[in-house]
Amino acid sequence: MESNTGNNEIAVTALFGTLWGTVELSLGTLIHSLKIPFSGTILAFIAIIIISISRSFINYKGSTLAISSIAAVLKLIILPGFNINPFLAIVVEGIIGEIVYLVLSYNLFASITAGSLILIYTLIHSLIMQGVFFGPAIYKVYINLIDNLGMAFNFKYHFAYIIIPLIISIYMLLGSLAGWLGWKIAKRTKDILEEEFV
Partner 1 sequence: MRTKIFVLIILLVTLFNPGRILIYFFLPVILYFMLLDSGLFRFILKRQFLFFVFILLLLQPLLTGSKEFSIFSINFSLDTFYNGLLMILRSLIIISSISCLLINSDKRKIQNLFNKIGINNFDKMFSYSVELLPLMKKELKKFAAFNKKKIFLNPIEVTAQFIALLLVSSKNLIHKTRGGGFYDE
CA dist 22 and 27 (Å) reads 8
144 binds partner 1 (CB under 8 A): yes
Whose CA is closest to 66, among 97, 27, 28? 97
CA dist 198 and 137 (Å) reads 62
Whose CA is closest to 104, among 114, 119, 116? 114
145 binds partner 1 (CB under 8 A): yes
Site string for partner 1, 85-114 (x = CB under 8 A): --x---------------------------
Residues 52/111, Cβ–Cβ less than 8 Å = yes
Residues 60/9, Cβ–Cβ less than 8 Å = yes
43 binds partner 1 (CB under 8 A): no
Decide: helix, strand or coil at residue 27: helix
Residues 72/91, Cβ–Cβ less than 8 Å = yes
12 binds partner 1 (CB under 8 A): yes
**Looking at 51, 70, 96, 114, which residue binds partner 1 (CB under 8 A)?**
70
Site size for partner 1 (CB under 8 A): 57
Looking at 71-79, 115-123, 160-168, 170-178, which segment touches partner 1 (CB under 8 A)? 71-79
CA dist 61 and 98 (Å) reads 8
**Looking at 31, 42, 62, 124, which residue binds partner 1 (CB under 8 A)?**
62
CA dist 151 and 141 (Å) reads 15
35 binds partner 1 (CB under 8 A): yes
Beta carbon nearer to partner 1, 140 or 169: 140
CA dist 29 and 110 (Å) reads 30
Beta carbon nearer to partner 1, 161 or 169: 161
Residues making contact with partner 1 (CB under 8 A): 1-2, 5, 7-8, 10-15, 17-19, 21-23, 25-26, 35, 49, 53, 57, 62, 65-66, 69-70, 73-74, 76-77, 81-82, 84, 87, 130, 132-135, 137-138, 141, 144-145, 148, 181, 184-186, 188-189, 191-193, 196
